Structure 1
């Protein structure tokens, strides 16, 4: 089983714990790297070599220091980061947040459920879609970045 690297940018300790609990039961080998604010996340992404880049970024919108939309803008304007799928997971269901996320080239927008069972179903759906159905740009077992 190949390892899947997920880069989580989330400031809610409760949401991080819930995601970690769901991923423990995953049929996939998932490595979760967590950052609590947008500034820290961008710094961490900037220093990664091409072979260290994540397979997916889960991004909250309401973050301290640098908000999620600004993080998204930075990611999607950087040549080696722009191909990484970015899934917005926010408590917001505000139409403006959804539109701004897609205008910023988010790959999808999900409103986080607060109920654990629903949260688990959402994460399983993400796993099934993004890691079973979709072809991701990053080649596994390769340190080459897409051109």
Structure 2
């Protein structure tokens, strides 16, 4: 398995979910940097290196909630997938919504995966471990910095 450092951008407005996700990930694996922002607008600012995020590094994965204030997950997904320099960043939805319309809309917007937030602690542990094993260990991800450099040319 690939064990290089891994950067994850967590876009989530519920602070209890953020704390749980970060704690579980820290317990499950090493060398994962979790950057947290509270809504889609902040996530776009981060990815575009705007305002307080001028020195941001591209994440290997975005974990995105759908239902957030300011800019929801669907709108964020639409914006990020329209930008050639950001399009290759995988975006996995982690939402309480199990509604077929949300799932269809997310995949239509080029989400890389859709996971319904677990209702129990044990299920949440399993989900976090699976996210880490799949996105950090199993799949091969593009070098986002290289993709962004090519797209800017």
TM-score, shorter chain, exceeding 0.5? yes
> Which piece of structure 1 moves more, 39-48 or 88-97?
39-48
Q: Distance in 2 between matches of 1:21 and 1:51?
A: 22
Q: 1:66 to 1:51 in 2, by over 3 A?
A: closer
Gaps of 5+ in 2: none
Which of 92, 97, 102 pairs up with 2:97? 92
* Alignment correspondent of 2:16: 14
* Alignment correspondent of 1:28: 30
> Which piece of structure 1 moves more, 69-78 or 19-28?
19-28
Q: Kindly report structure 1 stretches of 4+ aligned residues shifted beyond 6 Å.
A: 48-51
Give me the TM-score of the superposition, normalised by structure 1: 0.91
Q: 1:50 to 1:144 in 2, by over 3 A?
A: farther
Deviations 1:59-85 (A, max 9, x none): 000010111000001111111111011
Which of 118, 143, 146 pairs up with 1:144? 146
Q: 1:51 to 1:35 in 2, by over 3 A?
A: closer
Q: Secondary structure at the match of 2:146?
A: coil
Q: 1:51 to 1:14 in 2, by over 3 A?
A: closer
Structure 1 vs Structure 2 CA RMSD: 1.9
* Alignment correspondent of 2:4: 2
* Alignment correspondent of 2:107: 102
Gaps of 5+ in 1: none
Deviations 1:10-44 (A, max 9, x none): 00011001101101112331000000111111111
